Amino acid sequence: MSQCGCLDEALERVTRERRHVDSKLDAVNRFRTRVRNFTTNTAGHSAEVTQTTAGLTARTMALDTGESPTSKWKAQVRRAFEETIRPHSVADLSEPESLSETVRAELGSEVELALATGSNTPFLPAVKQAVLSASKERTAELRAMRRGLQVEAQSVSDARDELSAVAEWLELKDCSLMSLGFDTLCERHETLAGYRTHCTRLGSERQHRLHESSGYEHAARISHQSLASYLYDDLPVAHPVLDAVVRTDRRCADRQRAIRDHLSRRV
């Protein structure tokens, strides 16, 4: 695969991931809307208060059996999660994952515990707010991830365009050096030197992009380097932009050496 072809594949990975993040973001927003419309169990709150000193009575333990208010709200929220967020969360998994595991991965362990079938948590306003807060935080993370993907797409696209221009020049000027005059050879050598400086700049900019700490990274809880590693995990090269820069620079260096060889023979 050519260096530009590898960058095309990298851009396709970024585009695909952006679509996935957009779809999941929409799913989380739909989940929040559904949960927001669920009615809380204020009666359960009174029962919980009156039984604080008495411990768990038979009535409390019965809240999560049959068609009790507790089992009903859990079923509602779990169903909402299964119909909105879960399909996007498990789409790329190679191994099956339980609903509880997916809830923990997307909304955290506290929400997972609240939705656990064995718990006796009534749907109090505070519980509802905890679920909504967790989904709001997930929304913020996904929006930050989307910003990171936008940054990556721009970085890869810019590098591809600039390196493609160098590759086109190299192909255009690929002819027998014997047919070129001394001045033309000197001019091409100078042009190649400029391209190599260009490659050095692109490489430095890419390294800076990978290691720079940006505002979105804190919210997304992932560094740009980790994001790039995730995106290009199964590509032939781990760092497609840097690999393309290095290979382009080598082509320019090889062409320069060939030109210098011809120039030295004509002095």
pTM score of the predicted model: 0.80
- Residue 173: left (phi > 0), alpha (psi -120 to 50), or beta? alpha
Instruction: Write out pLDDT tens, residues 113-140.
Output: 988 877 777 888 899 999 999 999 999 9
Instruction: Write out pLDDT tens, residues 133-147.
Output: 999 999 999 999 999
Dist. CA 254–CA 93, nearest whole Å: 44
Determine the pLDDT at residue 128. Answer: 92
Determine the pLDDT at residue 240. Answer: 96
Determine the pLDDT at residue 229. Answer: 93
Instruction: Write out pLDDT tens, residues 57-66.
Output: 333 333 344 4
Specify the range with the lowest mean pLDDT, choosing from 72-81, 113-122, 241-250, 252-261.
113-122
Per-residue DSSP letter, 39: P
Report the mean per-residue pLDDT for the chain. Answer: 86
Determine the pLDDT at residue 218. Answer: 66
Say what percent of the chain tops pLDDT 90. 63
CA distance between the termini of the chain:
39
Specify the range with the lowest mean pLDDT, choosing from 53-57, 110-114, 176-180, 228-232.
53-57
Average the pLDDT over 78-107 and give the result.
Answer: 94
Dist. CA 156–CA 17, nearest whole Å: 14
Determine the pLDDT at residue 67. Answer: 53
Judged against a pLDDT cut of 50, whether residue 27 lies above it is answered with: yes
Determine the pLDDT at residue 62. Answer: 38
pLDDT band at 2; cut points 50, 70, 90: low
Residue with token string 């559904």: 34
Residue with token string 């990556």: 152
Phi, psi (deg, nearest 5) at residue 115: -90, -5
**SS3 letters for 88-101?**
HHHCCCCCCCCHHH
The full set of domain ranges for the chain reads 41-123, 142-266
Tokens linked to 95: 């191994």
Judged against a pLDDT cut of 80, whether residue 47 lies above it is answered with: no
* Higher pLDDT, residue 58 or 214: 214
Specify the range with the lowest mean pLDDT, choosing from 10-14, 41-45, 224-228.
41-45
Tokens linked to 208: 């800076």
* Higher pLDDT, residue 71 or 192: 192
DSSP percent split of the chain into helix, strand, coil, nearest 5: 80, 0, 20
Determine the pLDDT at residue 61. Answer: 37
